[in-house]
Structure 1
Amino acid sequence: MLQVQTLRDERDRVLTGLEKRNIPDAAAKIDEITGLDDRRKELQARNDALLAERNQLSREIGDLFKSGKKEEAGTLRDRVNTIKEESATTETALAEVLVELDDRLVQLPNVPHELVPAGATPEDNEVYREYAGELPTLSDDAKPHWELAEEYGIFSLELGVRTTGSGFPVFTGQGARLQRALVNLFLDRNTAAGYTEYAPPLLVNEDTARATGQLPDKEGQMYHVQTDDLYLIPTAEVPLTNLYRGDLLEPDQLPVRLTGYTPCFRREAGSYGSHVRGLNRVHQFDKVEIVQVTTPEESYAKLDEMVAHVGGLLDELRLPYRILRLCGGDMGFTSAMTFDFEVWSAAQKRWLEVSSVSNFETFQSNRLKLRYRTERGTQLVHTLNGSALALPRIIAALLENNQSQEGILLPEVLHPYVGTDRLQRIN
C-alpha cells in the first residue's frame, strides 16, 4: 500500500508510474485520497482539542468542588457533557473517514520503477536477456508433455478429476519422484545461498492475505474456506513474508532471507484453450519460493542477486530460458519491478513462464508495518520474492526437451536426486 505522504511529496513520479500501468483518472484518485487525509487530520485535530478541553475542565471541576463552588462546578460539568457528545460525533466521523481512506489506498497499485517499460499487454514486455544458445529442435514425432505423461506414467489429470476436479493433477511413480527431486534440489540450492528454510502453513487469515497484497486485488483467484474464514495460499510468499509482520528489525538482522516449499492453490478463473493443456496451468501445484527483506538502499542489488540465483537453477537444469522485464500493464498489483523467467518448450514451440522475481519496495511493508531501526529513526523495509522454482512448467519442459528413443534423459544435476539418469516408458 502506498503511503499518503508519498502521494503528496512525489505526486509527479506517482502519476508517471500509474500512467505506465494505464490507471484511468489517476490524478483524481490521488486527489480523493489526499482530500480524505486532509479531512482525517482536521477531525483528529478537532477531537484532540475537545479531549484536551475536557481534561482541563475536569481538573477545574475538581478544584471548584474542593473550594465549595458547586454551582460553578455544575456549569463546567454541563460543558464537559457537551464535549463528550461532540467528541463521540467527531470520533464516529473520523472512523468513517479512516475506513474510506483505507479503501481508496488499497485499490491503488504500486508505482513502477522508472526502468519499467510502459505498456498494456504481455507483447509490450521488454526482453531483458535473450537465450544465448541455439534452441533445441525435436523430431517430427516429438510429443507434448501431456502425451509423454501417459507413456511414462508421470501424472494423470483424469485421476485428479475423479478425486477433486479439473486442474488437479495426480503425480505417480517416477513422476512423483521427479517432483520430490526438484523440490529437494531447489531447497538445497537456496539454503546453500543463505536462505533459511521454513515449512509454513498452507492456510492464512484475511490479515495475512491483505498484508502481502493478495486481498483485495486477487480475492477471486484465491480459494476461501468460509466456515473458518481462511484462504488457501496462492504462493509461499504470503505466509513467509508475514512471519515478520509488525516487527521492528535491527540493521544487523538485514537482509532476511527465507525459502520454503509449499503446494500452491489458484482458481485461475477464465483460463481456457490449448495453451493451458496439461501442466501449463493447473489449480494446485508445487513451488519453492525465496523471499528477502532488506533496506531500500540494497533492494535492487538484492533483486539482481535473486535474478542471478534463479538463472543459476535453470542453467543447472540445462533448460533454455530468457528473462523479461514486465511492462507496467502486465506487472502484478504490488510490484515495483518484475522479471519473468520463461523456458523454451521444444514440443509446444513456445516460451513457458516458470518464475517471477519482484521488488515490492515499501508497498508490502507498509501494510505489514514492518520497519527497521536507523540513525534517522525507523523506516519501512523493502520486500522481494521470487519463484525458485515453480514445478509444473519446469517438468513440462524437462519432459519435452529431453525426450529420446532411450527415454527422458535427465540433466546430470538431477541424477542423485532421482536415482537414475533417465525416465523409462511404462506403456
Structure 2
Amino acid sequence: MPPGILPLADGLAAKATLSPANTGFLLICSALVMLMTPGLAFFYGGMVRVKSVLNMLMMSFISLGIVTVLWVLYGFGLAFGTDTGGVIGWNGDFAGLGHIGLTQLWGTSTVPVYVFAVFQLMFAVITPALISGALADRVKFTAWALFVALWVTAVYFPVAHWVWADGGWLYKLGVIDFAGGTAVHINAGAAALGVLLVAGKRIGFRKDPMRPHSLPLVMLGAGLLWFGWFGFNAGSWLNNDDGVAAVAFVNTQVATAAAMLGWLAYEKLRHGSFTTLGAASGAVAGLVAITPACGAVSPLGALATGAIAGVLCAMAVGLKYRFGYDDSLDVIGVHLVGGIAGSLLIGLFATGGVQSRAKGLFYGGGFEQLGKQAVGVVCVLLYSLAVSFVLAKAIDLVMGFRIGEDEEITGVDQAAHAETAYDFAGAGGGTAARRTTAHGETLTRKVDA
C-alpha cells in the first residue's frame, strides 16, 4: 500500500509483483495530475485583470520547471527516502534518480519506483502553484521563482515525508490524508497567508474594482481541475485491484457536485444570484475538501463533506475584507479552509471499511481519529505559515518581493514579461483609441473604420 495509507487487510501486498495494469493506471493518473497545473493557471488567469493574465499563468507554469528539476536532484529523496526521526528522509539512490532499477517496485506496491516518483512529482509541482493565486498583480517574477525553489525544499518535501512516508511522524500517528488535504492544500493555504504578511495589499485594494477579466477562462480552468482531480485522488491508492480507487473516484465526483450546489445556495441567499464564479469556486472547494477524505468515507459522507465545505468556503472568502489581508484569488478561503474542513470531517465520517479500519465519531470511533486529524491540521498549518513568512521576508530583504508602484499600476505583464495577453488593436479594419485612467492605466479600445 502507498505511504500514508493504512491498509485494510494486513499483508495484502506482502508478496507484490509488478503489475502492468497498475503501472499503466498510475502513469495515466500522473498525466492527469500534470494537467491540473495548466488548469490551475487558466482558473487563476481568468480571475485577474487583463494587465496581469500572463504573469498569473506563468506563476503556475514556472513550477513545472523548477520543481521538476529539484525533485530529480534531491526532492524525491528528501520526501520519500529512508526516514530520519520521522521528520525527513534521504536515500542516495534517489538523488538524480540514477540508481533505481527499471522494474524495482515501490515498497509493497505493484508499480515501479520511477512511476511512483513521477506521480508524486506532479503533487509537488501543483502545491506551490496554488500559493500564487494569493499574490496576483504585485510580486516580482524572479522573487516568486526563488520562493518556489526555497519553499518546496524547506516546506513541501519535509511535510510530504511527515504525511506519506512510512516513517513520517504524522503517518505513524495515524493521520489520514489520502491525497493531500494537509500536505497540499493546508500547506499551500497557510503558506499563502505567510507570504501575504510580507507582500502586503495591492494598490487600490477595497477601492478599485478588481473583477475577473474572463469568466470563460475560469470555468475552463475549473473543468480541467475537476477532470485532473480524478487522477489526483484515485491514483493515490497506486492500484486498482481492491475497489478503493473506485470509491475515491466516486467520492471525488459526489463531493465536488455537492460543494458546487452548497456554494451556489449560499451565494443566492447571501447575494441574490447564482454566479459562474461561484459555481467554479464551489467545485474547487469540494475537490479540496474531499482530497484527504476520499478513501475514508462513503459516498454519503462525501456528499456531506462537499456540501459543508462549499458553504464554509463561500463564507470564508469574505474574511479578507473583515481582517484586511489581500488574498487576491481566495487561496486561504478555498484551499486552507477547504483543506481543514475535509481533514477534520474524516474524524466524523470515516467508515472504517474503505482504506483503513479507522472510524469517525458518527461510526462508533469516538473522538480518537478526530483528535489525530486535528494534530495534523494544526502542525502543518503552523509550520508552513512560519517558514513561508521567514522565506518571503528573507527574499524581500535581499532583492525585494514586490514590483514597483508604477509597474503595478501599468501591469505586471509588461513589467515582468514584456508582453500582453490580448492585442486589442491588431485585427481587421479598425483603429485604436487610447485613454489614460486616473490611476495611470492605459486602456485600448478598437474603433471601427
* Greater percentage in helix: 2
For the pair shown, the structure with the greater C-alpha radius of gyration is 1
Instruction: Give the TM-score normalised by the residue count of structure 2.
Output: 0.22
* Greater percentage in strand: 1
